[in-house]
Amino acid sequence: GAAAAAAAMLSLDFLDDVRRMNKRQLYYQVLNFGMIVSSALMIWKGLMVVTGSESPIVVVLSGSMEPAFHRGDLLFLTNRIEDPIRVGEIVVFRIEGREIPIVHRVLKIHEKQNGDIKFLTKGDNNAVDDRGLYKQGQHWLEKKDVVGRARGFVPYIGIVTILMNDYPKFKYAVLFLLGLFVLVHRE
């Protein structure tokens, strides 16, 4: 009835607005959008420099560190060379040739006088250590395998990233809505 008519009127106004936005305004909005993206990238690069890690924020993907961390939790990492690797620390590492980073705890270290270190890891929720996960013939991890050490965390937030990965339709929906919002929002 009246509500449906009001809704129809509003959508017509909306279309008029879009038509009224001339080319110049459109370019302006696109530049605005570009600026936001660049700033975000700069902040990310800055974080990489400050923390010394190539991936200063990671999302926990598995349940191997429960009950401390669950799938979807966000971890903040640092990877400063001055910080020595010691048992009990939570490290994020990559196994040579594999892309997915693993978040586990250091169980054993053997460090030489000159600083060369080899260490073994284990997930809190796993019954055995990680030797079975390492590359064929690899018995230890080394500094070069480390992406960073977990220094802080926030629960749940990373779920969005996992959802976007597992459900591409969700990712497109989010991107579409974001794009729509930026283009239509006039300052």
Partner 1 sequence: RKNVEDFTGPRERSDLGFVTFDITADILNGKNGLQTFWNKSTLKLFFIFDWNVKQLFLYLSAEYSTKNNALNQVVLWDKIMLRGDNPRLSLKDMKSKYFFFDDGNGLKGNRNITLTLSWNVVPNAGILPLVTGSGHVSVPFPDTYETTKSY
Which residues belong to the active site?
64, 104, 130
* Residue 5 or 128 with smaller CB distance to partner 1: 128
Per-residue contact flags (x/-) with partner 1 for residues 36 to 75, judged by CB under 8 A: -------------------------------xx-------
Rank residues 17 and 111 by Cβ distance to partner 1 and give the closer one.
Answer: 111
Q: Does 150 bind partner 1 (CB under 8 A)?
A: yes
Which positions from 90 to 129 touch partner 1 by CB under 8 A, shown as an x/- string? x--------------x-xxxxxxx----x-----x----x
Residue with tokens 């060369």: 116
Q: Are 93 and 138 spatial neighbours (Cβ–Cβ below 8 Å)?
A: no
144 binds partner 1 (CB under 8 A): no
The answer to the question of residue 142 lying near partner 1 (CB under 8 A) is no
Query: How many residues in the chain?
Result: 187
The strand pair at 117-122 and 102-111 is best described as antiparallel
Q: Could you give phi then psi for residue 146, rounded to 5 degrees?
A: -85, 130
Look-up: residue for tokens 């053997």? 110
Q: Site size for partner 1, by CB under 8 A?
A: 26
Nearest partner of 120 among 136, 104, 135, judged by Cα: 104
Q: Does 139 bind partner 1 (CB under 8 A)?
A: yes
- Provide the CA 77 distance to its chain's centre, in angstroms: 11
Q: Where are the alpha helices (DSSP H) in 52-138?
A: none
Binding residues vs partner 1 (CB under 8 A): 67-68, 86-90, 105, 107-113, 118, 124, 129, 131, 139, 150-155
